[in-house]
Amino acid sequence: MNLKAFISLSAATVTLGVAQLGSAAIPQFAAVEGALMASGGSPAADGNYVMTFGIFKEETGGNALWLEGPVNVGVKNGHWAYPLGSSKPLSATILNGANLWLSLQVASDPELPRRQLSTTAFAVRAGIADGIDCSGCIGPTAIDPKVFAGLVKPSDLSPVATSGEFKDLKGGPDLSAYAKTAALATVATSGNYGDIKNTPDLNAYAKVSALAAVAQSGSYKDLKDQPVVPDVAKTGAYGDLLNKPVLPQLGKACGTNLVMAGIKADGSY
pLDDT tens profile 213-268? 888 888 888 888 878 778 777 787 877 777 777 766 666 666 565 556 666 666 66
Residue 94 predicted with pLDDT over 70: yes
Q: Which residue ranges make up each domain of the chain?
A: 3-126
The mean per-residue pLDDT over the stretch 30-54 comes to 85
> What pLDDT shows up at residue 193?
83
Q: What confidence tens digit (pLDDT) does each residue in 98-121 have?
A: 688 889 998 888 888 888 875 444
Q: What confidence tens digit (pLDDT) does each residue in 135-162 have?
A: 555 666 666 676 666 677 777 788 888 8
> What pLDDT shows up at residue 24?
43
Residue 30 predicted with pLDDT over 70: yes
> What pLDDT shows up at residue 74?
93
Q: How far apart are the first and last CA of the chain?
A: 160
Residue 85 pLDDT level (bands cut at 50, 70, 90):
confident
Judged by average pLDDT, the poorest of 15-19, 162-166, 252-256 is 15-19
Q: Positive or negative CA dihedral for 57, 58, 62, 68? A: positive
Residue 167 predicted with pLDDT over 50: yes
pTM greater than the 0.85 cutoff: no
229 vs 128, higher pLDDT: 229
CATH, range 3-126:
2.60.40.1930
Name the most confidently modeled range: 20-34, 87-101, 115-129: 87-101
> What pLDDT shows up at residue 48?
94
Query: What whole-number distance in Å separates Cα of residue 208 and Cα of residue 240?
Result: 41
Q: What is the DSSP letter of 266?
A: T
Ordered alpha helix ranges (H), the chain:
92-95, 159-163, 186-190, 213-217, 231-235
Q: Are 18 and 126 in contact (CB under 8 A)?
A: yes
Name the most confidently modeled range: 113-117, 128-132, 173-177: 113-117
> What pLDDT shows up at residue 123?
45
